[in-house]
Chain A
Amino acid sequence: MAQYEVTLAGFGGQGIMTAGQLLAYSGMAEGRKVVWLPSYGPEMRGGTAYCTVVVSPDRIGSPIINNPTCCCVFNRPSFDKFAPRVRPGGLLLVNSSLIDVESDRTDITQLLVPANDMAMKAGNPKAANIVILGALIGASEVLSYKVVEKTMKEKLGGKKDLLPSNIKLLREGYNLARKELGKKEKV
């Protein structure tokens, strides 16, 4: 697969950075080149936080990506900022639990994921990021589901009690994307 770029954006505390890191770790586990670049500084306190992950078969040049292949937006300010930036032909994942608008762009694939509601229902309210990560994998096929699940087990293994529900939510996010986009294989 060619170079794939994902920007994840939301409030500080929504697990944006963690989701991005899981993606980067997974890319590495599949033998790709990866870069994870966060926004940093006081804006992370309460304001918007975002990170960009680049996964590529080749040496990665610029870590700065203005028009990523995919944007995952977790709140309204991030939607406003990043929805217009998705590269034509790219993918926009919208956390529809917290964002009540949709992009009117017709040159991208848009997927609404009620990530907070799904996480809440699973009794794991902080795991909206995991749902979105699952949906991202399901929709983009940038990495295999298996690798991401394995990475999550390794990296989030410390929170043992939450792991089963994290895995469930990753799968639910994945399957939701498959269903919505009419793709066959589910997990």
Chain B
Amino acid sequence: MNEDARTLFSRPESLNEVVTHYCPGCTHGVIHRLVAEVLDELGVRENTVGVAPVGCSVFIYKYLGTDFLEAPHGRAPALATGFKRLRPDMMVFTYQGDGDLASIGMGEIVHAANRGEKITTIFVNNAVYGMTGGQMAPTTMPGQVTTTSPGGRNVNDTGYPIRVAELLSALVTPNYIERVAVHTPQHIIKAKQAIRKAFTYQKEGRCFSLVEVLSTCPTNWGKTTEESLDWVESRMVPYFPLGCYKDPETAEVPDGAV
């Protein structure tokens, strides 16, 4: 081999060498990889427990090389809370879809964030229920056709998509909350930085951290991989603006709170 040969890209240690069950063009896998890279870089794989959701990513424990708990649908932040309170020395993260986190699990995530649990949540927003076959999610776009909104999401009847990053940022507790996307290499790089920051804050014992990742579901969107990536940019990003919504570095405590 050439003496100058260097490894530029390899499988992170925290990412298991297995084939995932995700559909072609699904970006769950990209997000898994980013989490794995960060766990490697922070050197915390062996001191981390993930909490798997109920959704397409229920099998995340097959793909990442950390310990895992499998939560009931939507309850991952509660399990994570219970675990972290007893083992503050360990890193605890949840990985949740939009049905899991923003629908059935809305109560758990709001309270975990509000208590400032020192956990990290990776929130995968793909605008639909993936695993159960494409029903409407709280994040489904206005007019978007799903199996339970066959005429397109009607906002008069079901309201507007929930912006989770904004909603949780409204809590006073100083947390870290950022929204990213993974539909282009540039966005993937930014997403990685946010995920790294989230885990770093946890490692430092500072705050609750949540990264919302705009993701694709070509299967249930009825689109090709390329169309799906475009749809993230053209439909989702304008409604779900990317960026940091809250950072403990800059968080302000409002008047009257002290």
Contacts and interface: CB of A to CB of B under 8 A. Distances in A.
Interface string B198-221: 000000000000000000000100
Contacts of A45: 21, 23, 219
A42 B131 CA distance: 7
Contacts of B23: 45-46
Interface residues of A, number: 3
Interface in B13-59: 21, 23-24, 56
A42 B129 CA distance: 13
Nearest to A47: B21
Contacts of A46: 23-24
Interface string A41-61: 010011000000000000000
Nearest to B26: A45
Nearest to B58: A42
A42 B132 CA distance: 8
Nearest to A46: B23
A7 B131 CA distance: 26
A42 B23 CA distance: 10
Contacts of B21: 42, 45
Interface of B: 21, 23-24, 56, 131, 219
Which 7 A-B pairs rank lowest in CB-CB distance, beginning with the nearest? A45-B23, A45-B219, A42-B131, A46-B23, A42-B21, A46-B24, A45-B21
Interface of A: 42, 45-46
8 contacts: A42-B21, A42-B56, A42-B131, A45-B21, A45-B23, A45-B219, A46-B23, A46-B24
